[in-house]
Chain A
Amino acid sequence: MSEERGRLAAYWDRQQERLDEVERKRALKLPTWRTRKRRRALSVLVVAGDLILIAGAVCYQTGQTGAFLVCWLGGGFVAGGAQYLLRILTGKMSGGFSMRLDEREREMRHRVTYVSYQILVTMMLFAVLYGLLVPGPKAGGAMMACALLVTGTTVSAIILGWSLPDDDPEDFEGVSPA
């Protein structure tokens, strides 16, 4: 039992070291994009993609299949692409394990997570009411819930992208590129 726990602990340590390495490499990617202006532009793009997804869910509810497909695929592409870039530019605060963050990062992540959780809960309540009250196909409520769930999961990165300041080049002096 303890040997198995030791193996699990060693595996867990290796995974964390691997994630740290990924984050170290990621922290040096897109150096010219690490400004508040670029992060905010990407945050707006993620919000736009989320809104297109929600519009797609409304189209599904009203039976506009073509518009639904265009919105769903287009919104997914816009939100997914911008979210991927935002994930790189906001670092491990938006995706790393808490135990790998230092006190400033952990504090900021906790604050952002709390806000995004509140927003997600509100969106889920809206999704429930939408499914119950808006007439349409049975799956319409599920499509709206899906769009709002995707939107809710992007809120943390959106807030971080909006609030993080420009990176200070001095922070990276002496840090070797991966």
Chain B
Amino acid sequence: MSPVRRGKELPIYNRLPVLRAERGLSRAALATAVEVNPQTIGALERGDHYPSLDLAFRICAVFDLPVEAVFSREPFTPLSTQVYREGGT
């Protein structure tokens, strides 16, 4: 489902659901902001579609975060764990 040929062993994980929830954004609202169909946001969240670099940058611009904060080759640890354990609080 990705825009380029890619082996199954190289998935792209993302934090879209949690980032949307934090900001109270619906899929439709995020889709409007990045000019795609809401179903494409759903497909990204389910891992059915990997974004192009352009779409990844547009999504990151909406959240005002760097690409590595939103997309990763490795599964993300929960944000709360990252903030409270790794942040040393």
Interface residues in chain A, defined as those with a beta carbon under 8 Å from any beta carbon in chain B = 102-105, 107-108, 165, 167-168, 170-175
Contacts and interface: CB of A to CB of B under 8 A. Distances in A.
A104 B41 CA distance: 10
B52 A171 contact: no
Interface residues of B, number: 22
B7 to A, nearest CB: 17
Contacts of A104: 1, 36-37, 39-40, 43, 49
A12 B46 CA distance: 36
Majority DSSP secondary structure for residues of B touching A: helix
Interface string B1-27: 101000000000000000000000011
A115 to B, nearest CB: 15
A167 B26 contact: no
Most buried by A among B35, B36, B37, B41: B37
Contact of A171 (B1, B42, B48, B49): B42
A170 B42 contact: yes
Interface of B: 1, 3, 26-29, 35-43, 46, 48-49, 51-52, 54-55
Most buried by B among A104, A168, A175: A104
B55 A103 contact: yes
Contact of B35 (A102, A107, A170): A102
Contacts of B55: 103
